Structure 1
Amino acid sequence: MSTTRGTTMKLLHICASPRLEGSNTLKVSSAVIDGLAERVPDLEVETIDLFQGDLPAMAGDNIEAKYTLMMNQPIDRAHTESWKQIEHEIERFRSADAYVVTAPIWNFGIPYTLKYYIDCIVQPGYMFRYNEQGYPVPLVHGKKMVVSLSSGGDYSDASPMHALNFNEPYLRAIFGFIGITDVTFVNAFAMDVGPDIRSASLDGALADARRVAEDDGWLELAATTAA
């Protein structure tokens, strides 16, 4: 297994699971991160625990600032201090080279804290802009993302429940909207179906996580960030 030395790759782990030791989703994302740490010795990992931290509200001064930006107008001075909290989260996201998102399926979609976070950071002029024709133009490029996804039921391609997995298509759409199209999902489905199925599914997901970490694309990304 090859590694790259003398480089630093900044990885942002966005954790949307309220469980810690008992989280199947977190086990899978941890396997990805551990595997990357073996390949990129100077990997820098920052974790945003969405169930523990306080995100700025998209209401009050901040919602007024958002709509001001959407009209291509400067932010009112009265809203500047509040908006700086939004800009801090945006900068924390944009400064990363790659992302691991821990996102279990809740009621067919993503946990509410992850949606809250996305609504906080996906802002015009920072993550995307509109061109002269009014079409959105993504502003985030050259990034990689891995999403660790687990679910109680079976949402695999062969399952009749597959169409109810709105987690993956939404995350691909919103992050693709801002320019992140290199997105890999590592799925641990059917965690509540039965012990044998659960064990086999989790083992398969952990094996997939290790394979994802071994992809040479990470070395290419690390080399690019060091250039």
Structure 2
Amino acid sequence: MSTRLLHIVATPRGLASHTGRVSTALIEELHQQHDDLEVTTLDLFSADLPAVAGTNIKSKYALMTGQPLDEAARSSWEEIERTIEGFLAADLYVLSVPMWNFSIPYALKYYIDAIVQPGYLFGYDENGVPYGLVEGRRMVCVTSRGGDYSGPPMDAFDHMEGYLRAIFGFVGITDVQFFNVQPCDVTPELRNAAARKAIADVRAWVAAGAWAAREPVTLG
């Protein structure tokens, strides 16, 4: 049985971006380690994502309260369901995402708002406490940042990693690894050095068996 990887590209520059270069190296290394790997790429800046408004918002709350949908509403909501099904079809995730204004690009937020739906990616117990429904999956986030946010004082402005860990952890994906290309907007020398380091790090991480390991692997 094949291993299905969903590569979510959340940058308008695609695979030509800093994150794209590192993600490509990561996936190439994964192919070397796993002959059965099947990769699907979802480019969020070119994808026709369903609207999280209008009819679909009405349908969401109708479903939450047990109300039936009419034919038009059902047809529209099925676009949301197909987007969710595409996400849930994967065993593994690679997310290529640049930092925009200390957080994530709008296209990724739009996608997250489309797929994170009650009854699909999370549910509620009898006490109204939410729990994730997406279990047994892993995610690698490859990010790029204009500055270096690895320590004080700039780490206080990093609202990207915390949000991604929170939202995907909320739906059950708690095994999330980050590789950050930083700084990218200082000098060409620093930018190129950061990209080379990130590429070397992802290759070493996969080669060390970290992707398949149940416990975190720390590279020396």
Matched, 1:216 2:209: yes
Task: Kindly indicate whether structure 1 or structure 2 has the higher relative contact order, using CA contacts under 8 Å at least 6 residues apart.
Answer: 1
Could you tell me which residue of structure 2 aligns to residue 136 of structure 1? 130
Q: Structure 2 CA distance, aligned partners of 1:112 and 1:200?
A: 28
User: Residue 15 of structure 2 contacts residue 24 of structure 2 at CA under 8 Å; is this kept in 1?
Assistant: no
Q: Structure 1 CA distance, aligned partners of 2:134 and 2:67?
A: 22
Unaligned ranges ≥5, structure 1? 1-6, 222-227
Aligned structure 1 segments of 4 or more residues deviating by more than 3 angstroms:
72-78, 217-221
User: Residue 94 of structure 2 contacts residue 141 of structure 2 at CA under 8 Å; is this kept in 1?
Assistant: yes
User: Residue 96 of structure 2 contacts residue 141 of structure 2 at CA under 8 Å; is this kept in 1?
Assistant: yes
Q: Structure 1 CA distance, aligned partners of 2:211 and 2:188?
A: 34
Could you tell me which residue of structure 2 aligns to residue 225 of structure 1? none
Could you tell me which residue of structure 2 aligns to residue 224 of structure 1? none
User: Residue 7 of structure 2 contacts residue 41 of structure 2 at CA under 8 Å; is this kept in 1?
Assistant: yes
Could you tell me which residue of structure 2 aligns to residue 113 of structure 1? 107
Count of aligned pairs = 214
Q: TM-score, normalised by structure 2?
A: 0.92
Return closer, same or farther for 1:41/1:152 CA change in 2, 3 Å cut-off.
same
Could you tell me which residue of structure 1 aligns to residue 164 of structure 2? 171
Could you tell me which residue of structure 1 aligns to residue 44 of structure 2? 50
Q: Deviations over 1:201-226 (max 9, x none)?
A: 111111111123224354469xxxxx
- Residue among 85, 92, 98 paired with 2:86: 92
Matched, 1:104 2:98: yes
Unaligned ranges ≥5, structure 2? 215-220
- Residue among 182, 195, 200 paired with 1:189: 182
Quote the RMSD (CA, aligned, Å).
Answer: 1.6
Could you tell me which residue of structure 2 aligns to residue 203 of structure 1? 196
Could you tell me which residue of structure 2 aligns to residue 147 of structure 1? 141
Q: Structure 2 CA distance, aligned partners of 1:165 and 1:214?
A: 29
Q: Structure 2 CA distance, aligned partners of 1:173 and 1:74?
A: 32
Q: Deviations over 1:97-116 (max 9, x none)?
A: 00000110001000100000
Offset of residue 168 of structure 1: 0.5
Q: Structure 1 CA distance, aligned partners of 2:116 and 2:166?
A: 12
User: Residue 138 of structure 1 contacts residue 178 of structure 1 at CA under 8 Å; is this kept in 2?
Assistant: yes
Q: Structure 1 CA distance, aligned partners of 2:43 and 2:112?
A: 14
- Secondary structure of the residue that 1:103 maps to in structure 2? strand
Q: Structure 2 CA distance, aligned partners of 1:217 and 1:69?
A: 40
Question: Which letter maps to 1:188?
Answer: V
User: Residue 69 of structure 1 contacts residue 125 of structure 1 at CA under 8 Å; is this kept in 2?
Assistant: no
- Secondary structure of the residue that 1:55 maps to in structure 2? coil
